[in-house]
Chain A
Amino acid sequence: MREPFKQRVPRDFVGSYHPRVDGLAKASGRAEYLDDVVAGMRNVLYAKVLRSPYPHARIKSMDTSKAEALPGVKAVLRYDDPALADLPATCCAWTSVNSASHDQMYYPNIKDHKILDSTVRWVGDEAGVVVAAESEAIADAALDLVEIEWERLPFVLDQYDSLQPEAPILHPDINPDDNLLPVHEFSGGDVFIEKGDAPAALAQADVVVEATCQYHRADHSALDTRGCLITWEGDKLTCWNNYYAPDQTRMYVSQMTGLPLKNVRVINPYIGGNFGRCNMGEQSFYIFTALLAKKTGRPVRYKMTRREDFHDTRNPVNYRVKLGAKKDGTIVAADFKALGDTGAYHGHGMASVKLVVKWDVLENMMAPIPNLRYEGYVVYTNKVPGGCMRGIGNIQHNFAMGLGIDMLGEELGIDPVEIAIKNYGHEWEPAPNKSVEAVLRTGAERIGWKDRHPAGKGPVYDGARKRGMGFSGNCTWHAAWQEEMRGRVQAQVKLNPDMSVVLQAPMVETGVGSNACVTFACADALSFLGTKPEDIHWVSVVDTETGLKDMIQTDSSCAYLQPELMPAIGTQLKAELINRAAAVLEAAPEEIDIVDGKAFVKADPERGRLIRDMLWFGDMVPVVVTVTQMPDVTKTGAPFAATFAEVEVDTETGKVDVLRMVVVHDCGTVMYASGAEAQQVGSQTFGIGESLTEEIVYDPATGAPLNFNWVDYSLPTILDFPDIEPVLLEVWRGAGEYGACGMGEGASTSTPRAIANAVYNAIGVRVDEIPMKPEKILAALAKGGYKVPEPPTPPSRLAAGVDR
């Protein structure tokens, strides 16, 4: 039995250790996902889309006559059909946290994505033609019968090669000069942060450390592969799917098909994991599936295979970090340069390098550092597009900054934990930041940090195995600016005459447990009725036709934004019940109170009536309260999280094993303790996998990915999992009733850097390119280091004299 966390404000259900509210449905296999919901549907056709066999090519001509003639094929839709050809180009990063129309998308100058384009830009790109047939097998066979004359184009896989003048240009419509994504004010120019004078401060610093590192491409690999089932009857379209933003899907489908919003119904059941995949506000498959449903008049199912589901990934970023400090460990300047590889389309590549650093990390973690300079570029390559994955860019930035902190500690002979405490913090609290201090000191104590030996100087086990400890810390994800953009939040409580409650707090349950958070907050808000979580039914299916506006399940912010509405719902429900009781009890509303489900006259408590009796023996009409409310977006900074890791490196084989981890998270308010700990423990699957085994491998000769499957793309199993101690704290406090923060992104941000620093502490040699596979460890041991290139200034910028 481990120690439970200590609650700052005692509450009955918020913050409790409790089974998941959907736990029994999920444990018994009764929870329904997209595959299960559509399994019983009749008359369904199956869609299959052509996937590019080439990394860069153009369809010169296409003959689909044999495919069309194949028995069982019901429709063939080609790139040159006006239904497709006339569709506007979009940006993969159309939106993220809110529902936005085509004319309000984040990056209006990067509309680089056409639905089933005739030009393909990565092996696996959806292109040219899609078919609908009586079975998936027939649809596959039909695609095999399509005859295509391809014009193969030169391709570029490497992010550095892609900058060179001779590189083939992927999107001449977006940028005719080279493969750089054009700058936009939303994310800033090439030098997107300039505070103070970093070069001058570095020149005067007592010590300067400088290093390079490379974050790579990893896949979300959620179990539930993406897809949809669409019916289009008359002017009415219904789309069952497993994306996590039903209202944005409705917006996208409406805008691309021309159907008004009222005629587009989007339904989302439970989904089997998401982790930020497709966090782009648009997916081609909705549109081509819809057009096939229209053409055939039948329901059409599209489902990605596991191979196809390797469809967007973590954005790789190559960093150079330079930190200057005084002898006492005070950082006087930080200078970063980054090159991001967004793959074939812009799926939030700009956010990975610039936006999140500019809008979150800067004010919530780097604020105490007086001189800052960030320069960044994002480049297209002929690879699978990048996107969001448990955060956007914060993990890549942390991989660089945590390296600088570790190096500075060694250079100055100061514990790097103390350097972090001295220098990390947000704009709204002077350093040392209480959250940073509490998180890092707790982690250090729990892992036994004081016993850490100097790098490479520890004991050797069994002749070849060396152990080491590392840590990294990060600001968690609490983006008030994003919450402002999301706008108002909606929820509804329906009190039935038997006192059971139906709670409509629409969000797609991806697994993060925000349904428990809002259910517990609802029970606390209805404590005057004696309501328990078991009395509340949270509506798990989101339906844009019958339901309220869904809360897009990003930033894990559903976990607190919907609960923040519950106090208002409780107040309004109580007022309505008091009004009803006033008539029954023949007293003025202000004379009445409700406690434990009973309304009574305060001056004469004997004069009372159970609310249940009042409703049950009344008209039995449920009492409904709907609240639409803007969250309190007062900026309060963000709390801190950290990962401490102990690893063992086999210096003969190069294999790294994570032995132990302590994951500390200041949550502001812990909304659901068991769920929060599940997020802390669970998000380490990503960190451990990305650090040690997970990597998409490309064949440089053909441009083909070699491991779009789970045999060759190696995910952590129960055997790879170390002992992990989750520690929850409540130190920082945000705005609102709870002032909580998200967990899913913050708890995984520091893991790769903590493991990399632990590896260095074990073997005394840095390997700052992940995954740290055995061959890299052995190469580093043999050569005394592992060289990661420095992000170059793009030649086109040098020519223009932009380099500063």
Chain B
Amino acid sequence: MTAYAAAPHAIRPAERLSEIWRRSATLLVLIAAIALLALLAGQADAVLQRRVIFCLVNLVAVVGLYIFMGNSGVLNFSVVGFMAIGAYTSALLSMPAAMKGTFLPDLPLWLGAMQVPHMLALLTAGVVPALIALLVGFPIMRLSGIGAAIATLSLLFIAYIVLGNWDSLTGGQGSLMGLQTYVKLPVAAAVAGGAVAVAFWFQETRWGIALRASREDEVAARASGIRIPRVRLIAFVLGAFVAGVAGALFAHFQGTLRVENFYLDLTFLLMTMLVVGGSRSLTGAVAGTFAISLVTELLRQTEVGVTLPGAAVTLQTPAGLGDVALAGVMLVIILFRPNGISGGREIDEMWRRRAGRKHRKLPEERNA
């Protein structure tokens, strides 16, 4: 742990230990929140359970988005593309050979005959996007601002077009069906917890701290000897790994796979979750995912129709309003609370603020 590396003042051993504890509080609370959600959902009916699993799968993806975008402050539209690659990787590796013969008769022979255990397929679903990210990210990481946004958007389109037209490998625009749906509550919660832990570990490493320094002030960070493209690349690759795993979870949760699902709508949903929660902190990524999942679920309920206790009429909103409301929520947050629910702070930082104790000033407070 290099947690105390962020603290500029000299640190005595006892102080150092308590600092580590304090910073780890964020991770512990976030993991506890995920565990609690999963435990509560375990008592609920099957429909609600599915919603919670979906929320946890989205959480993994949002954490993948956060690792790069949150820490670097550079927009990243490519996460959903990496999710798609992960999803297809896992599907192709874990589908029974007979199934592949039916849906994808033109697969190369070695791939058609291959069937690996789910956990190995899940891991590979992270590794393949990570390798691709390493390859394409190497040059792209020099870009910032609009350039990076357009470049990563281009990556998303390329992934979408290639996967959507590579008929022999992915079945093209059609659906890939019959994937084993092993992603239930325990798996989803465990992977979500793992993703949060990885993201937390990363942002406490020297790379994570250097990357966030470059987010606050690119020029000053470069002047301090931070090699920005390199630390960005590390985050980009790690983010792609997590996103790929999220994609695989998505595939094995739904049981069917369509390229169409991995496009701008999902990109917008994930980005909404991150921005609403506050893209500058891991706490924000988790809070935003939970909040938006709750809002979408409530809106879905009203589309089905709710009868308030004591009221004689059933409230029902027309279908499709939920999507409009989601975009509306996103807009309102950007306009009125651009740092999101969390204000860009981690939980331990919120506690310290509340306690009113003296602590290191955060860069965003200096500007405020």
Interaction A to B: no
Chain B residues at the A interface, C-beta cutoff of 8 Å: none
